[in-house]
Every structure is written in structure tokens, then in C-alpha cells.
Amino acid sequence: MSLIRPLPLPLALRVGSGLGTLMRLVAKKRYRVALKNLEIAFGDTKSSEEKKRIARECFKHFGMFAVESLKFGYMSQEEVDRRLSVQEGGLDLLKELSSEQKGILLITGHLGNFEIAARWITARGYELFALARQARDRGTTDVMTQTRERMGIKVITIDKSLKPVLAGLKRNALVAIICDQNARDVVVPFFGRPTGTVDGPARIALRMGPPMLFFYCVRDGKGHYTIRSNGQYWATPTGDTQADVIRTMTEVNKRLEEMIRLYPEQWLWFHNRWKSSPKVEEEHAVHAA
């Protein structure tokens, strides 16, 4: 971290891209997972060469994401504002939803750099919580938490009580949730396949009533970033909680998929996203037999 911070951002991005390529060459299993996921997602709609290209680029993206997250936590607000722009109408939509006084669930995935978008949001006076998973090692968790806190984000790990988050929504706070990872909570479509998915965003939305705002922050590769929105969604309870959760998370996956299709190189394809999908589990069982 101490070696990355002093570097100009364009140089740091080149270093990050190189580190991502090195990771791909060393972690060959992850590269195979990326290719498998791309096959699941795109099938015959993309050529084998195009899927390989996206897989290579997503490792470079991950390396750049790592250095960006370290850099932006220590940048001046002036430099952040110079490098970051917002889709036309994006701030108006945020203000409009905030005026409802129900809080907002900011729904995103591991696409582009969501950490940078959080820095922009907190700089405009919004109280922002981030629901996060613990990393596998304590050191990584500590670095990520410290960097996020420097950007004004209140980090809540999902293995702890959500009372601060629920209380924050009552104060009209924003809660950022990254919900594109493998889970066993509920099975809903994602890229045309039944997919194990978290249900937390739906349960919070149905219980507390905040709108969902879908957003992502993508880079142009030259040190500039754009925050974009994929619209809003209000989860409405009908009295059938399970059906409501399935309907809401189906919409969440649909919006996330739309965002990923626009910038496939900037999503983490090497995460085993379909590990808990019913068909994947059946295939594993057949191979094991």
C-alpha cells in the first residue's frame, strides 16, 4: 500500500493492470472459472476468442480496482471531483429518492469501482453504510475497512447485527449492498440460469420500505470514472413474503445483469457465481459419481 499511494494514478493503474495479469497467470484455476462463467452467461452469443479476451481483461480490472481503492481513500476531494463525473440526472434522482425520508438501498455489484462512487456520495453530506463480508484474512479486512472509513463510509459486516443499518434507514441514511456473489438464500434467474442469490436486500426493502437505487461506477482506462444509474425499484409487500422476496431479487438480478452486459470486462468473472445453482450442483454430483 505504501508503494502505491505516491504513484500518479495513471501509473498506478498500469501497475494494477500488470498485477492482475500476473494473478491470471498464477491462479490458473480462477482463469478457468472465469471462462466457465462466461460460457454460462453468453453461450454461443460470443465467440470463444471474445470470451477469452473478457476473461483476461477482468483480471486486469481487478488489479486496477485494488490500486484505485487504495488511491482514492487518500486523494484530495478536488482531485476526486476532477476525475469523477455523474450520469446526467443521477444526482437529481438521488435527491428525489432521499426526499421520501425512507432511506435508500444502493444496489450494486463487483462492477467497475463501487468504492469510488461511495467517496462521491459521502462528500455530498449523505450518511452511508456499506454491508460487507469479512475477507478471508484479517489484514485485508482491516485495510479495506480503514480505507472505507477514510472515505466516510460506515462499514457493517454481514455477520454482525444489522440494527445500526435499520436505525440508519430510519434517519434517511443510504445503505450500499453488493449483492452479486454466490449464495443459497433464494434461487432466481441470472443470465438466463437459476442462480443461488442473497435475499437480504429484498428482506430489508420489504421490511423497512426504502427504494432501491441501482448504480455502478466504471472507468475509461485513463483515470476518469463515471457513476451511472440503472433506475429505481420499490419492493411492495403483498402478504406473501417468499413470493415478494423472489420477485424482488429477480428484479435485482435483472438490473445487475443489464449493467454487467454493458461493461463485461469490469466484472469479476473469476468468482464462482453459479456454484450454488441447482444445475451446477447436479453436474458436480454426476462428475463425483
Q: What is the pLDDT of residues 142-195, one digit of tens each?
A: 777 777 777 788 888 877 778 888 999 999 999 999 999 999 999 999 999 999
Pure H helices in the chain:
9-26, 28-42, 48-72, 77-83, 90-98, 114-123, 138-150, 163-170, 200-208, 241-262, 278-288
Contacts of 227 (CB under 8 A, 6+ apart): 84, 85, 86, 87, 90, 117, 120, 215, 216, 217
Q: CA 253 to CA 251: how far, in whole Å?
A: 6
Q: In this structure, what C-alpha cell is assigned to residue 79?
A: 482531485
| The pairing of beta strand 128-132 with beta strand 153-157 | parallel
pLDDT more than 90, % of the chain:
66
Domain ranges in the chain?
A: 9-272
Neighbours of 236 (CB within 10 A): 11
Confidence at residue 286, expressed as pLDDT on a 0 to 100 scale:
34
Which of 21-30, 80-89, 165-174, 267-276 is the least confident region? Answer: 80-89
Contact status, residue 5 vs residue 74, Cβ threshold 8 Å: yes
> pLDDT per residue over 117-133, tens digit each?
888 899 889 999 988 77
Q: In this structure, what C-alpha cell is assigned to residue 282?
A: 447436479
Query: Among 156, 69, 57, which residue's Cα sits nearest to residue 116?
Result: 69
Neighbours of 202 (CB within 10 A): 27
Contact status, residue 90 vs residue 228, Cβ threshold 8 Å: yes
Residue corresponding to grid cell 411492495:
236
Contact status, residue 207 vs residue 254, Cβ threshold 8 Å: no
Q: CA 183 to CA 193: how far, in whole Å?
A: 14
Per-residue pLDDT for 16 more than 80?
yes
> pLDDT per residue over 200-250, tens digit each?
999 999 999 999 999 999 998 778 999 999 999 999 999 999 999 999 999
> pLDDT per residue over 262-289, tens digit each?
999 999 999 999 998 886 555 544 333 3
Confidence at residue 177, expressed as pLDDT on a 0 to 100 scale:
94
CA atoms within 13 Å, Cβ hemisphere of 2? 0
Burial group, residue 95, by CB count within 10 angstroms (0-12, 13-18, 19+): exposed
* Amino acid sitting at position 47: S
Query: Among 139, 129, 137, 287, which residue's Cα sits nearest to residue 201?
Result: 129
Predicted TM-score of the model (pTM):
0.90
Residue corresponding to grid cell 505504501:
2
